[in-house]
A and B are shown apart, each in its own frame.
Chain A
Amino acid sequence: MEPSKEENDHVSRDTGLNFFGTITASVTHELNNVMSIIEQTAGLLDDLCAGAEYGRPIENEKLREISGKVAKQVDRGVAIIKRLNFFAHSVDEPIRTFELNVLLSNLVELAQRFAVLNRIRLEDQIPEYSINLKTNPFILEQVVFICIQLAITADEKDGLVTVTCEGLDSGAMISISGPPVPESEETDSKLSLLQNLVNELKGTMQVTLDEAGRSAFKLSMPNISEEASL
């Protein structure tokens, strides 16, 4: 028996929440690292002040080095927060027109920590010119993120995963390529979820293996109307 629309909505909501949680947990972990460095750097400054009270002079060069370290971490923290904020706004409207290249660049940055933990290099080779797409940005982010997740689970350490996109007449093509994806139950389950999400966006998906043994997810995503998504 086919699942009802309510059942599908329930699964879709759970999947979306799960994805949102995964990204938020990763970003807050990164922010925690930033805060840890700032806290210890502030502590170092306190140590130096305490030393100065006992007559040990603080050198200007040392102070500059410390303020440089704090500034670097603040910049890092601001960039992380901007990325999370951009991502959080992708649930504002179910269907809207947005710059696909900007959304993908942001998502690749959000996924960097996952790639690093798997010792995989993740690069975006996304054009700088605007590629507009009208679809559900949050579901599209889930689709691309699952492809990235699959690509970075490869056994090939220090492998390279790339994300690219190009505009089509009535939509866009997104490609995620990398080392071959290992076969497992988890892979099958992710592929099944991926196919459902691509269907929700009225898109098509091809998974190919080239001569060099690299796997590629090719996602053809059409512009869709608000009515089409109902």
Chain B
Amino acid sequence: MNTEKILLVDDEEEFISVLAERMQARGVKVDAVTSGADAIERAKETFYDAVILDMAMPGMDGIETLKHLLAVNPDLQVIFLTGKATLEKAVEAVKLGALDFLEKPVKFDALLDKIKDAKEKKILLVEKREAERIKNIIGKKGW
């Protein structure tokens, strides 16, 4: 059973509402917000497996939101949803640390696959960080 926990960020309320409903029906836990500022607040409170982020939003755009999200949690896996016009920005986002991007209109199964990838990557990163932490403790104690 899927137990991924994700955050949907898009100013198109109807879009995130229907997407959230479909994901929840598949066992994915979903939070949804309509602005970058709200996304940052949520990311401070919750450790998500993935954030699905729209590129073009009022106020803080996707790239700005990504920078803030990664400052809150560098391990956060962010998947961008983008139109053709913002494809170059999506490439820039991946260089900045986003996991991947998908072009709108997005295929639902492709998005679910990306979320699974994101969760696996997050687990690897957390395990790696934990292993480093334990190695540091052992090194300091001189055991």
- Interface residues in chain A, defined as those with a beta carbon under 8 Å from any beta carbon in chain B: 25, 28-29, 32-33, 35-37, 39-41, 43-44, 47, 51, 69, 72-73, 116-119, 157
Q: Decide if B18 touches A40 in the complex (CB within 8 Å).
A: yes
Q: Decide if B105 touches A32 in the complex (CB within 8 Å).
A: yes
Q: Give Cα A43 to B61, complex, Å.
A: 28
Q: Decide if B19 touches A47 in the complex (CB within 8 Å).
A: no
Q: Decide if B14 touches A32 in the complex (CB within 8 Å).
A: no
Q: Decide if B22 touches A40 in the complex (CB within 8 Å).
A: yes
A40, A73, A117, A118 — most chain B CB neighbours (10 Å):
A40
Closest residue on chain A to residue B59 by CB atoms = A119
Shortest C-beta distance, A118 to chain B (Å), equals: 8
Main secondary structure of the interface of A (DSSP, over half): helix
User: Would you mind naming 15 contact pairs between A and B with Cβ atoms under 8 Å apart?
Assistant: A25-B85, A32-B83, A33-B15, A36-B105, A37-B12, A37-B18, A40-B18, A43-B22, A44-B22, A47-B25, A69-B14, A73-B14, A117-B56, A117-B61, A119-B58
B 37-62 binary contact with A (CB < 8 Å = 1; else 0): 00000000000000000001111010
Q: Decide if A35 touches B22 in the complex (CB within 8 Å).
A: no
A29, A51, A72 — most chain B CB neighbours (10 Å):
A29
Shortest C-beta distance, A204 to chain B (Å), equals: 34
- Interface residues in chain B, defined as those with a beta carbon under 8 Å from any beta carbon in chain A: 12, 14-15, 18-19, 21-22, 25, 56-59, 61, 83, 85, 104-106, 108
Q: Give Cα A220 to B25, complex, Å.
A: 58
> Please, which residues of chain A bring their CB within 8 A of the CB of B85?
25, 29
Q: Which of A37, A116, A118 is close to B15, meaning CB atoms less than 8 Å apart?
A: A37
The 3 A-B residue pairs whose C-beta atoms are closest, nearest first, are: A36-B105, A40-B18, A39-B105
> Please, which residues of chain A bring their CB within 8 A of the CB of B19?
40
Q: Decide if A35 touches B58 in the complex (CB within 8 Å).
A: no
> Please, which residues of chain A bring their CB within 8 A of the CB of B18?
37, 40-41, 43-44, 69
B18, B25, B59, B108 — most chain A CB neighbours (10 Å):
B18
Q: Give Cα A72 to B25, complex, Å.
A: 23
Q: Which of A36, A47, A73 is close to B106, meaning CB atoms less than 8 Å apart?
A: A36
Closest residue on chain B to residue A48 by CB atoms = B25
Q: Decide if B56 touches A29 in the complex (CB within 8 Å).
A: yes
Q: Which of B56, B59, B108 is close to A43, meaning CB atoms less than 8 Å apart?
A: B108
Q: Which of A36, A43, A118 is close to B104, meaning CB atoms less than 8 Å apart?
A: A36
Closest residue on chain B to residue A41 by CB atoms = B18
Q: Give Cα A118 to B61, complex, Å.
A: 10
Q: Which of A29, A41, A117, A157 is close to B83, meaning CB atoms less than 8 Å apart?
A: A29
Q: Decide if A37 touches B14 in the complex (CB within 8 Å).
A: yes
> Please, which residues of chain A bring their CB within 8 A of the CB of B25?
47, 51
Q: Decide if B22 touches A36 in the complex (CB within 8 Å).
A: no
Q: Decide if A117 touches B58 in the complex (CB within 8 Å).
A: yes
